[in-house]
Structure 1
Amino acid sequence: MEVFGSSGTRGTVNETFTPEFVVQVAQAAGSVWDAERAAVARDTRATGGMLADAAASGLTSVGVDVDRIGRTPTPAAQAYAEREQVPVVIVTASHNPPEFNGIKLIGPDGVGLSVDALELIEDEFLDREVDTVPWDQVGRRRRVSTANDDYVAELLSAVDRERIADADLTVALDPGHGAGALTSPEFFRALGCDVVTVNAQPDGHFPGRDPEPIEGNLGDLGRLVRTAEADLGVAHDGDGDRAIFFDEHGEFIEGDAALAALSAAELDPGDTTVSAVNVSQRLVDAADDADATLELTPIGSTHIVSRILELQREGAAVPIAGEGNGGIFFPEYRLARDGAYTAARFLELVAERRASEVVAPFAGYHNVRRNLHYADADERDRMLDAAAEWADAEDAEETTIDGYRLDYGDAWVLTRPSGTEPLIRVYAEARDKARAEELASAVTDALEDGR
């Protein structure tokens, strides 16, 4: 797809991502959706108001009434879509830096659109012949102020509130100035937890840290866990659909380890779980131990959602799915990544054992991730050609679902272009850290030589 990548469409505001572009995407979506009414939501980014206005204008110009639900986490917007049975345009760039913004499109079932549905909207967008309505048929707008409160209420009814409250847990929370700051503090307190926070003021400039909840951005959270003697540290990305954890010692928990631990608690024999091609051996082990099947997709929530829907239509049970970046699905709750819900499910485990003990069975792997920036499509293609040539020369099992993944038995390495940024990403994993570094360096050198 030219417009929609692995998790919507994004870009630098007023450079590659403009109000005019947002109007056109919203018009295309409104033209394809057979809906009289839709909603527009946004995260806390400084440009969100401007671009949400553009999205609302695009929808109303093709005759769609618009509910303006304001600043809200992506999973809250998805809950609104399901509750009201209306599609939603979410203005968010998720984990990207402050200068970025983007769009995610949600169906009236509360589920991110499948690849096929996005392609229909993309075709309409590229056709550029949107039929706007006469002046007296444009859509109406109304403001809705209850989306966040309704979302928190739904969360509280969906988790084991008594189990968590009885454990008398302290949670250190870092929503990173993003949309999770609007709901997660209230949610965890309503679960009966003592809550201490950092970066919990909604601020679209993200002064405390970058929106991506990676270890290098979360030093303040680790220190807060230790200072407050918290049982768990929780971090969100910019739109609150991901959760990353710190244990009771203030030590970072790899997202892959958290996914594996949650999956081990959730999977039964005969179940299926879905993850992306950069899946960790941790999840492979958890699925094998549960006698469950692991399905792989290209990286990105759109591809995972599409595969889960296919499996459900085939009658498969998919109780959990996701990626090691903290974006986890519990499809029986809702087919949406939800950072607050994921954290609550992890708290259910921490109520019985310390966080370090929950993930201990999935320790012993080392991950290396590197990002290489490219200037244009030609340079990207040269670098990917170099990656392909390097991969073909290696004595390893090769998978090309998305980029080039090589499995060596004791380690694996993956090279692929980002779906949202001008980056080529390199992932490596091994039980020996030096081995992972060696593989990542070898691929990086090949990519640099290919520029």
Structure 2
Amino acid sequence: MDKSKIGKESKLESSYVDEAAKLIGNIEGSPKIAVDIGGGAAKTVAPTLLEKLGCKTQVINEELSNSSRGPDPTSDKLSDLISYSQKNDIGFAFDLDGDRLVVVKNGVKQSPDVTVGLGAAKAIELGYKKFVLSIDTSVSVEKFIKEHGGEVQRSKVGEANVIDLVLKTNSQAAGEGSSGGFILPEFNYCRDGILTSGLIASMIGTKSFDEILNFMQSYYQLRDKVAIDSQFHDKTIEKLLDKIKAKSSEVSTIDGIKGMIDDDSWVLVRKSNTEDIIRVSAESNDIEKCKTILEETKELVNQSYDKVK
């Protein structure tokens, strides 16, 4: 039986690479970049863009069926990319749809916040001053932006929430640190790991690159969760609020409870909308202090839960 004719096939042309290259400009020095596709949509676009900008690329994990890593570069160890990056100037790992990016430098996988920090440093170089960061993005990114004449507003966690505040405040750049997602609204109103890879590549070997990377590497983030029946999430967080206030110089409740312990340390407590857990995140420029903040806050969550259940 002959196949049914159900439609037509059209070839679409995209100006994405040309427009991105126009925004970023030519990169001097032909930096060598290891590109870990992870078997995703960045397969042809990311290497094409980087090569058009003037980079030399070494591509791994092009096909999903033969990929040595999982779909999420923020949680994967990226062992192959770590190895390849030591023979190159930098390594980039993409998720399946190419909107998130993780950086590997000198054989070390960087935190997703570093992606946002490097993107922000490039945005400042391009003249942008107004930024939105999700509430769980590293304080180091905010401090770097402010020290270079920028301003920062904080949104709820989640790409949609970040974009919503960008639109409301007419901001020029944004990021969600936990996902490794940087946003440049002039080009794209969503996280764009491919564009971000080009922006970061253009900074390799510059003072700005080393400055933001060294600064961010002096901060530590830890995340954990506490098992709490979802029917008690709201009451637990309500009971916890006064306890966090007592230990913080400033408190935000735009998304759960965020307490600023000092200028370099904070804790964030948020309920899960899908699981019987409450998430606890902490950051500090002192790793031992970060561990203490996390453990003490988890204990406060349990104490609050015991009082309301």
Deviation at 1:349, TM superposition (A): 0.6
> Is the 8 Å Cα contact of residues 243 and 342 (structure 1) preserved in structure 2?
yes
Deviation at 1:233, TM superposition (A): 0.8
How many residue pairs get aligned? The number is 297
**Which residue number in structure 2 is paired with residue 8 of structure 1?**
none
Which amino acid is the alignment partner of residue 290 of structure 1?
H
**Which residue number in structure 2 is paired with residue 322 of structure 1?**
175
Deviation at 1:447, TM superposition (A): 4.0
**Which residue number in structure 1 is paired with residue 39 of structure 2?**
177
**Which residue number in structure 2 is paired with residue 233 of structure 1?**
91
Deviation at 1:180, TM superposition (A): 2.0
**Distance across 1 between alignment mates of 2:37 and 2:275:** 22
Are 2:203 and 1:349 aligned? yes
Which one of the candidate residues 120, 124, 140 is aligned to 1:282? Answer: 140
**Distance across 1 between alignment mates of 2:24 and 2:8:** 32
Which one of the candidate residues 94, 102, 117 is aligned to 1:244? Answer: 102
1:5-404 aligned within 5 A: 143-146=9-12, 150-160=15-25, 162-163=26-27, 166-203=28-65, 208-214=68-74, 216-226=76-86, 229-247=87-105, 249-267=106-124, 271-312=129-170, 318-324=171-177, 325-350=179-204, 352=206, 356=210, 359-372=213-226, 377-378=230-231, 380-381=233-234, 384=237, 387-388=240-241, 390-404=243-257
> Is the 8 Å Cα contact of residues 263 and 320 (structure 1) preserved in structure 2?
yes
> CA offsets per residue over residues 161-190 of structure 1, 9 Å max, x none?
x22xx3111111122222223422333233
Secondary structure of 2:64's match? Answer: coil
> CA offsets per residue over residues 182-213 of structure 1, 9 Å max, x none?
4223332333322223322135xx95323222
The 1:143/1:309 distance shift into structure 2, 3 A limit, reads farther
Which amino acid is the alignment partner of residue 337 of structure 1?
R
TM-score, structure 2 length as denominator? 0.82
> CA offsets per residue over residues 254-304 of structure 1, 9 Å max, x none?
333342343234338993111111132212212221222211111111111
**Distance across 1 between alignment mates of 2:197 and 2:56:** 14
Are 2:284 and 1:430 aligned? yes
Deviation at 1:382, TM superposition (A): 6.2
> Is the 8 Å Cα contact of residues 98 and 193 (structure 2) preserved in structure 1?
yes
**Which residue number in structure 2 is paired with residue 113 of structure 1?**
none
The 1:358/1:407 distance shift into structure 2, 3 A limit, reads closer
Secondary structure of 1:196's match? Answer: strand
The 1:422/1:305 distance shift into structure 2, 3 A limit, reads farther
> Is the 8 Å Cα contact of residues 270 and 293 (structure 1) preserved in structure 2?
no
Which amino acid is the alignment partner of residue 57 of structure 2?
V
Unaligned runs of 5+ in 2: 1-5
Deviation at 1:351, TM superposition (A): 5.1
> CA offsets per residue over residues 143-169 of structure 1, 9 Å max, x none?
55436x543343333321x22xx3111
**Distance across 2 between alignment mates of 1:354 and 1:292:** 15
Unaligned runs of 5+ in 1: 1-139, 313-317
Which amino acid is the alignment partner of residue 333 of structure 1?
F
The 1:156/1:293 distance shift into structure 2, 3 A limit, reads closer
> Is the 8 Å Cα contact of residues 272 and 319 (structure 1) preserved in structure 2?
yes
> Is the 8 Å Cα contact of residues 231 and 354 (structure 1) preserved in structure 2?
no
TM-score, structure 1 length as denominator? 0.58
The 1:220/1:369 distance shift into structure 2, 3 A limit, reads farther
Secondary structure of 2:223's match? Answer: strand
The 1:368/1:264 distance shift into structure 2, 3 A limit, reads same
| Root mean square deviation, CA, Å | 3.1
**Distance across 2 between alignment mates of 1:174 and 1:421:** 31
**Distance across 2 between alignment mates of 1:363 and 1:215:** 18
**Distance across 1 between alignment mates of 2:51 and 2:8:** 31
Deviation at 1:306, TM superposition (A): 1.2
Secondary structure of 1:328's match? Answer: strand
The 1:275/1:418 distance shift into structure 2, 3 A limit, reads farther
Secondary structure of 1:197's match? Answer: strand
Secondary structure of 1:179's match? Answer: coil
**Distance across 2 between alignment mates of 1:143 and 1:387:** 57
Deviation at 1:216, TM superposition (A): 4.7
Deviation at 1:379, TM superposition (A): 5.6
**Distance across 1 between alignment mates of 2:248 and 2:213:** 32
**Distance across 2 between alignment mates of 1:306 and 1:237:** 23
